[in-house]
Amino acid sequence: MAKEAAKTTTSESPRGLFSKDNYIYMLAGVVLIIIGFLLMMGGGNSDGSFDAKDVYSFRRITLAPIVILIGLGVEVYAIMRKPKA
């Protein structure tokens, strides 16, 4: 019985917490989050005032948060996804 236990522990190779696919999905999620924050940037003038039309644009108020939420969803999927055996 001890020989069987020794065989199973030595034959199993050490694996990481995530597979390569999980890391690829994590990287894609981080890229989406960064793109969302880049879409949200800007809106200031050189004199320090803000142009309301530019600050409250569709890109900054709607599109950027949606892209960030999609990136966070991809991150959750990448963490919860079971690696293929």
What pLDDT does 83 receive? 77
Instruction: Look at 16 and 25; give whichever has higher pLDDT.
Output: 25
Structure pTM? 0.73
DSSP one-letter string for the chain: -HHHHHHHHHHSPP--SS-HHHHHHHHHHHHHHHHHHHHH---B-TTS-B-HHHHT-HIIIIIHHHHHHHHHHHHHHHHHPPPP-
Q: pLDDT band at 78, cuts 50/70/90?
A: very high
Look over the chain and give the mean of its residue pLDDT values, rounded to a whole number: 82
pLDDT digits (tens, 9 = 90+) for 29-64: 999 999 999 999 876 666 766 667 777 889 999 999
**What is d(CA 59, CA 41) in angstroms, rounded to the nearest whole number?**
10
